[in-house]
Amino acid sequence: MAMRIISQDQITPHFYIKTVPIYGNLILAPMAGYSDSPNRLIARRLGSAMSYTEFVNAIDITQDIRRVSTKLTYLPEERPVVFQVFDNDLGRILSSARILFPLQPDILDINLGCSAHSVSNRGAGAGLLKNPKLIADIFTQLVKISPIPVTAKIRLGWDDDSRNYLEVSHILEECGAALIAVHGRTKKQAYNGRSDWQAIAEVKANVKIPVLANGDVCTPDDITNILSVTGCDGVMIGRGSFGNPWIFSRLVRDDVTLTETLDVIWQHLELIENFYGSERGYIIFRKHLKAYLLPFSIERPFLYALMTAENSETLHALIMDIPLHIQGA
């Protein structure tokens, strides 16, 4: 399958984030450990309309940005690029933003949705949903100093007893946020239960800025259904894209052939080894390789050899032999 980038001069934008045109309505979600530049590039080439970095701790940015520089590295091909930041301190968020602006992202996003205990229990990520006044202060002050659009990614609330997504959405819009991405679960749910698409629809119906729907989107039918239910401007896809970047081309994963899969595997591996170096890159790539091969019945001893390859050269040689080790082929 030929990789592609949507040509920005041939189609009409699906929507705008302030003045930034977005050419497409499917977007790779920011995911810790996954949304690095190589993965964003693969998704972008197959149809993801913009590129969110992994979330970055404002403390790290203000203390020593070099420790998070890899997360903030991007190529022009990835634009529009969104830097996502998390913290629970207004001063640090403003200071980190001033450090990030010279790196020329297109958009700055504040994470109000991370459910990880290490983030939310300190009052950052989804922890901010418990403090609407602080959310208002952050966005009011950040929008004042920002030369680029400021956006937010939220959950429905801390738990079922505090689903304050409409209050938070109104605050965000009133304080200048240019877009809201909504994951249809509470912090307490984490990734359990079903994403509440009806709640996302309520957000879309009650604000005038663009809204992205997020949660439980794994197939082209899911894309169609969530857009129909929510009326949102776009769909943010996270876990449903693991090993399946073709979802951004609205392809059914089972219809993607082994040849097409291997084509993307080689391209992704090359991007990762160029980005991290071959010594580290081949190790990072293993999690992607396992996900890419999940639809195929790989002989277990061979799959084990792939996952435990001791160097880049061995992994390359094993990938060449994948077609020989598919059961029933």
List, as one string, the DSSP characters of 8-48.
TTTS--SEEETTEEE--SEEEPP-TTT-SHHHHHHHHHTT-
Q: Which tokens go with 125?
A: 């990520």
Cis peptide before 132 (omega within 30 of 0): no
Task: For residue range 217-231, list pLDDT tens digits in order.
Answer: 999 999 999 999 999
CATH number for region 257-325: 1.10.1200
When pLDDT is cut at 50, 70 and 90, the band that residue 314 belongs to is very high
pLDDT of residue 11: 80
Task: For residue range 1-50, list pLDDT tens digits in order.
Answer: 344 444 444 589 999 999 999 999 999 999 998 999 999 999 999 999 99
pLDDT of residue 98: 98
Token match 């520089």: residue? 69
Measure the CA–CA gap between 63 and 289, rounded to whole angstroms: 35
Measure the CA–CA gap between 81 and 78, rounded to whole angstroms: 6
Buried-exposed string 152-190: b where 16+ CB fall within 10 A, e elsewhere: bbbbbbbeeeebbbbebbbbbbebbbbbbbbbbbbbbbe
When pLDDT is cut at 50, 70 and 90, the band that residue 291 belongs to is very high
Q: What mean pLDDT value characterizes the chain?
A: 94
pLDDT of residue 10: 53
Catalytic option among 114, 175, 218, 232: 114
Measure the CA–CA gap between 5 and 140, rounded to whole angstroms: 35
Task: For residue range 85-113, list pLDDT tens digits in order.
Answer: 999 999 999 999 999 999 999 999 999 99
Measure the CA–CA gap between 87 and 183, rounded to whole angstroms: 19
Measure the CA–CA gap between 269 and 290, rounded to whole angstroms: 12
Domains 15-253 and 257-325 share a fold: no
Task: For residue range 131-155, list pLDDT tens digits in order.
Answer: 999 999 999 999 999 999 999 999 9
Q: Which tokens go with 142?
A: 């950040």
Number of C-beta neighbours around residue 310 at 10 A: 9
| Residue 114 among the catalytic residues | yes
pLDDT of residue 9: 45
pLDDT of residue 237: 98
Q: Is the pLDDT of residue 114 over 50?
A: yes
Q: Does pTM surpass 0.75?
A: yes
Region for 234 from its dihedrals, namely left if φ exceeds 0, alpha if ψ lies in -120 to 50, beta otherwise: beta
Measure the CA–CA gap between 7 and 25, rounded to whole angstroms: 14
pLDDT of residue 29: 97
Q: In the CATH scheme, what architecture does the domain 15-253 have?
A: Alpha-Beta Barrel (3.20)
Angle formed by the axes of helices 132-145 and 90-100, nearest 10°: 30
Task: For residue range 184-199, list pLDDT tens digits in order.
Answer: 999 999 899 999 999 9
* Calculated CA dihedral for residues 296, 301, 307, 313, nearest 10 degrees: -100
| Domain-wise residue ranges, the chain | 15-253, 257-325
| Better pLDDT: 127 or 7 | 127
pLDDT of residue 100: 98
Task: For residue range 229-284, list pLDDT tens digits in order.
Answer: 999 999 999 999 999 999 999 999 999 999 999 999 999 999 999 999 999 999 99
Angle formed by the axes of helices 165-174 and 197-206, nearest 10°: 30
